[in-house]
Structure 1
Amino acid sequence: MAKKVNNSLNFHSVIIVLLIFIIIVLIYNQYKTQTKPIMMTYSDSLSPRLEPVQTNLPVKLVQDSTDTVRNPYAPPIRYYEDTYKQLGFLSNHSTKLILFGKPAHYRRDKWYYYTIIDNIKLPIEVNKRKCTVQPGCDSVSTKDIVIVDGKEYMVNLYETELF
């Protein structure tokens, strides 16, 4: 006689396999629908095929377009030139020397100054500070006293609207 197969054992096995399959499908769908941060490189953001990505950067709009501190798109207040210009002359009782100068970058009140004696560039000292090295020295005005090569000279600036 043939052995009788226990149908309840097979039925329970099929139910357990189906439950495990359903649980795996549910976990996979839940994992798939979770939001994940998208890591983008700079070159990815320029691709014409990608949609624009909303960034959550704390940007404060500035209403005053002339405020260059808070508005990075405003033009600079003053353009700096990298070349020395003749600003005036230095005089003492017997000689007159040409005064060359340029503004120090990022500092409104600091300047670089020098003069020329016998084709030699000589630094000017203002308040015991040489004006050819960083951070420069304080700006000079007409009738200020400066020192060149140990001698005192009086500053005479040209009257222009450029400075």
Structure 2
Amino acid sequence: MIVGEYRNNTLSVLFTYPIKRRKLIAAKLVIIFVFTFGMILFTDVLMGSVLVAVDRFYPFITDSLTMEQVRVLLLEYTVSSLSAAAMAMIPLLFGMRKHSATATMVSSVLLVLIVCSGFNGPLVSINSIIAIHMSLGAAGLWIALLSMFRLETKDVN
């Protein structure tokens, strides 16, 4: 969204309005963050609900689901969605350097491949290590913040 507007010079038109550039970019970053967070959380909850519904007809889960387990799962889904939405800002670094939507897409696919790839079977992946997950999320937020501050000097030219 942001890189495409840079490339097509439509962001230059937005910059002519009497609104600070940082606010415009911050609004776009918030839209991306909230959309990513909402879609990941929605998908996690939907897939969990489908699993529970299918288990009613074809019982393949031996234990029963308690409300405490549901609360824990919702908390895990929320934290995971927040960090994944923050990680979605990392490809912005590569896209803003080249002003290329292709570089942004390729870097996001590579990031997902690295984070979600499993080693030693599907049980162990980088995504299951919460410290790496949270630090990548923090790196994504840092990159988003830096892109807002770089906007005044380097990215405009």
TM-score, with length taken from structure 2: 0.21
Q: Which has the higher contact order (CA 8 A, sep 6+)?
A: 2
Larger Rg: 1
Task: From the two aligned structures, give the one with the greater strand fraction.
Answer: 1
Task: From the two aligned structures, give the one with the greater helix fraction.
Answer: 2
